[in-house]
Amino acid sequence: VGPINRHLLLHFERDMMAAEAVVYHLLAEHGVPCSELLAVDTSKTLIDRDLMIVRYQPSVTYRLNRADYSYAPDDTARLYRELGENIAKIHAIRGEAFGHVYDVAQGRGHTHWSEFLKAELDQILACGEPHGIFDVQESAAMRGILERHTAILDAIQEPHLIHADLGPNNL
């Protein structure tokens, strides 16, 4: 069930469940193990939040830093190999544009990687501005970095699906 205080969400979190539904479909289509989506409702008509139901998968969270979890070296090597193989499958999935999955699925992607990163930075800075997270010089410095490296970023011509949150606690 989605969060109650939606006004506290970052821009890319607002459509997170709808994005997950898109991702689950893509992963299943490309043979990547993932949750089986049984139902999703983002209309907020059933309840006042997004709702998703996935099939239960018996599992244990892979936690490297907890003393109560111990894995034999062979098991750890096998788990990392499987993870690497599945990440490679994820990263092989091509997209039509650069951007967050849900935005791209809705036709709101970007034609260049740098264009997406600049728009993303603008969103983050706008969100943090009322709280004084970054001052004017810091904001300008971050924008300057993207401007100076636009050509390098735009050498990336083909959008791919990337999962940036596959740490041990999410496995």
- Mean pLDDT score across all residues of the chain: 88
Average pLDDT over residues 99-113: 95
User: Which of left, alpha, beta for 31 (phi over 0: left; psi -120 to 50: alpha)?
Assistant: left
Rounded CA separation 114/95 (Å): 16
Rounded CA separation 40/55 (Å): 12
Assign 30 a pLDDT band (cuts: 50, 70, 90). very high
Assign 65 a pLDDT band (cuts: 50, 70, 90). low
13 or 161, higher pLDDT: 161
- The model carries a pTM of 0.82
pLDDT tops 80 at residue 64: no
Assign 63 a pLDDT band (cuts: 50, 70, 90). low
For residues 19 and 102, the answer to whether their CB atoms sit within 8 Å is yes
Q: What is the pLDDT of residues 7-29, one digit of tens each?
A: 888 888 888 889 999 999 999 99
Average pLDDT over residues 86-111: 94
